[in-house]
Structure 1
Amino acid sequence: MKPSTDRMLTRIKSMYLYIKRRGNVTTQELVEEFGTTQRTIQRDLNVLEYNNLVKSPTRGKWVVTKRKTIVS
């Protein structure tokens, strides 16, 4: 895997765990926590949402779904 792909997957996994731990976060909180652009965070959230791991019940707020996951 390319280093950039590995970095992206690590960030997405960290974002998922952060949202799971906090329960409810905003996109802006994720930008500040991970020190990256809003566009990058949105792209990562789209990956998580596509895989049914997070959802946005209110615009700009994110929670994890009830889908069972195994994090290694």
Structure 2
Amino acid sequence: MKPSTDRMLTRIKSIYLYIYKRGNVSTKELVEEFGTTQRTIQRDLNVLEFNNLVSSPERGKWTTTSRKIKIS
């Protein structure tokens, strides 16, 4: 796997765990926490949303779904 892909997957996993621990976070909070652009965070959230791991109950706010996952 390319280093950039590995970095992206690690970041997406970290974002998921951050949302899971906090319960409900804003996109802005994720940008500040992970020190990346809003576009990058949005792209990562789209991956998580596509896989039914997070949802957006209101614009700019994110929470995890009830889907069961195995974290390795």
What letter is aligned with 2:14? Answer: S
Match of 2:28 in 1: 28
Unaligned ranges ≥5, structure 1: none
Match of 1:67 in 2: 67
Write out aligned runs for 1:1-72 (5 A): 1-72=1-72
How many percent of aligned residue pairs carry the same amino acid?
81
SS of residue in 2 equivalent to 1:36: coil
Q: Structure 2 length as normaliser, TM-score? A: 1.00
What letter is aligned with 2:37? Answer: T
SS of residue in 2 equivalent to 1:5: helix
Structure 1 stretches of 4+ with a deviation exceeding 4 A read none
